[in-house]
Amino acid sequence: MIERTVEILPDFLPPDTLSECQEFALSTLFNKKSTFRSSYGWDEQLKRNSSPVLIFELASANKELFNKIRKAVQNKTNKVVQDILIHFWSKNSFLDWHTDSAYSDALTIYLNDEWRPEWGGYFLYGPQSNFSGIIPRENLAILQPSGIPHCVTPITVDYKVRISLQMFITDNKQVL
């Protein structure tokens, strides 16, 4: 059996697509007409006492950007995106340990142009007794196979929102 592990993919999106994602995410966050879901709908074990994470579905709002990101993901990973969500993480928001077992893979791409280690929001993965961690960095992608325990540590700043793209994907071979 082949052991699957987390892949760290720097400089994932083409620069023009990254810039477009950043601009779209910020304009969405500050647009009074934007409609969001929240992490309140997540399983209790995931969210515990986390502050809410705002979630925006990209496909219905900007199909052109959705398709650019989808193409970049397929070109770099040979995976096909099912959905693209923009996550806005505020102070005290986090995600407890889980495995995303309902999906074959998940992909996260960080959009913030600046993120300092003391601001939290680390992606931790692996066994809780011996885990590894990744600090969010602009245009860094994390390809995380199903079954690998992982979490997001609490955001510690209230003046900076951690923004990421979140995708759940399938192997290209599985798509008919």
The model's pLDDT over 116-125, given as tens digits with 9 standing for 90+, comes to: 999 999 999 9
The overall average pLDDT reported for the chain is: 92
Tokens of 91: 């102070």
Say which range, 57-66, 73-82, 109-118, has the weakest mean pLDDT: 73-82
CA pair distance 161, 176, nearest whole angstrom = 38
Kindly state whether residue 91 falls inside one of the protein's structural domains. yes
Non-local CB neighbours of 23 within 8 Å, separated by 6+ positions: none
List the one residue out of 168, 5, 164 whose CA is nearest residue 102.
Answer: 168
- Compute the average pLDDT of residues 146-175: 85
pLDDT digits (tens, 9 = 90+) for 26-51: 999 999 999 999 999 999 988 889 99
Kindly state whether residue 2 falls inside one of the protein's structural domains. no
Kindly state whether residue 1 falls inside one of the protein's structural domains. no
What CATH number did the domain enclosing 162 receive? 2.60.120.620
Kindly state whether residue 175 falls inside one of the protein's structural domains. no
Q: Which domain holds residue 103?
A: 7-170
Residue 171, pLDDT > 80, answer no
pLDDT digits (tens, 9 = 90+) for 136-154: 999 999 999 999 999 999 9
Residue 174's pLDDT is what?
Answer: 44
pLDDT band at 2 (very low <50, low <70, confident <90, very high): low
Number of domains in the chain: 1
Kindly state whether residue 110 falls inside one of the protein's structural domains. yes
- Compute the average pLDDT of residues 72-81: 93
CA angle (120, 123, 124) in 5-degree steps: 110
List the one residue out of 120, 171, 115, 134 whose CA is nearest residue 6.
Answer: 134
What pTM was computed for the model?
0.93
- Compute the average pLDDT of residues 42-70: 94
Kindly state whether residue 75 falls inside one of the protein's structural domains. yes
pLDDT digits (tens, 9 = 90+) for 88-100: 999 999 999 999 8
Kindly state whether residue 80 falls inside one of the protein's structural domains. yes
Residue 3's pLDDT is what?
Answer: 66
